[in-house]
Amino acid sequence: MSTPGLPRRAALLGGLGCALTACSASHPVARNFSSPSPAPTGSAFPAPSAWQPGPGELQPDVKLRAVQVVEAIGSWPPGGQGAAAAGQRVAALGLPAGLAAQGGTLLADAPQAAVEVVYAQYGGLLSDSASVLVVCRQWLAGPDGAPQSAGTTVDVRLSQADPRWNVTALHPADPGPAAAVLPDAATRVLAQPRIVLPPAAVADLRSGQVHDSVLNAMLTLAGPYSFQVSVVRSGHPLMVFGTDRPSDHPLGKAFDTWQVDGHPVVDPATPTDLVDSFMRAAAAAGSYNVGGPRLLAGGRTANQFFSDPTHHDHVHAGFTA
């Protein structure tokens, strides 16, 4: 997400151990989104639980605010499709109905839909503004009513306000069309069950716009670890949040990981050695810029490792080419 050692406004920390009452539903069971999930048996349409922040989140209500907008736009009962109906659901949250028009592919023309949030990761956290990357899958009712699997990642922007932060804009992922021919490394990552990719990341790889350095590092890490990726190229801020510096993500030169060996990076119960070793392994796999919840010593360069509030909930690995 960012390069270490550069000025950044102080983030307001909501407490490292903050947990909400519904935290048992905070981290969905790991699923491999590299291929469409099978439709449920019978006639029941999926009804995923609403996402809730779990232990260890910073400013948990900021994430919840962002997630609730995405869930409101991307989920509807039979006959509830369309931007106007989505706007009513957003307005019920006390937010501008016009935000619904920024929902992108979440506003698919389907008679029924349901969203499941995989994880809500910070793309940036400052004292008065934030970017929350809402990684989700979506089920859309097909012509026969059967659910079809889709999904996206939405960069939700927020500004500080009382009693709750305001949502100011939504920027859905735009992976681009699939490439006619995929690089071998991309094909191997898509087939690797130890690398779990959400829908937008799958589309990123299929677009052919992710550098081999990123793909080969993922494959290297999949030897000792199984991990869930949150963001690769699309659905991430174009600039390092709060700066005028381009991010490595939109260039296809970075990926973020929110879960390692079944353990969320943000969870205080996750062994620190596990996350730290994953960070060091990412550096050894070629990343020049590894960020995470702790500042690690060592590295090939003075600033190879970094930490800040934005990276409290994931491991970032950036590459030069």
What pLDDT digit, counting tens, does each position of 180-231 carry? 999 999 999 999 999 999 999 999 999 999 999 999 999 999 999 999 999 9
Supply the pLDDT for residue 302. 83
Nearest Cα neighbor of 139 from 61, 230, 31, 231 is 31
Nearest Cα neighbor of 226 from 174, 171, 274 is 274
Q: Which residues pair with 132 in a beta bridge?
A: 122, 156
Condensed to tens digits (0 to 9), the pLDDT of residues 306-320 reads 999 999 999 999 999
Mean pLDDT of 151-161: 98
Condensed to tens digits (0 to 9), the pLDDT of residues 2-24 reads 444 333 333 333 333 333 333 33
pTM of the model: 0.87
Measured between alpha carbons, how far is residue 46 from residues 22, 34, 77, 79, 118 in Å? 20, 19, 11, 16, 15
Would you say 259 and 281 are in contact if contact means Cβ atoms under 8 Å apart? no
Condensed to tens digits (0 to 9), the pLDDT of residues 65-110 reads 999 999 999 999 999 999 999 999 999 999 999 999 999 999 999 9
Would you say 66 and 120 are in contact if contact means Cβ atoms under 8 Å apart? yes
For residue 282, the surrounding DSSP H or E stretch is helix 272-284
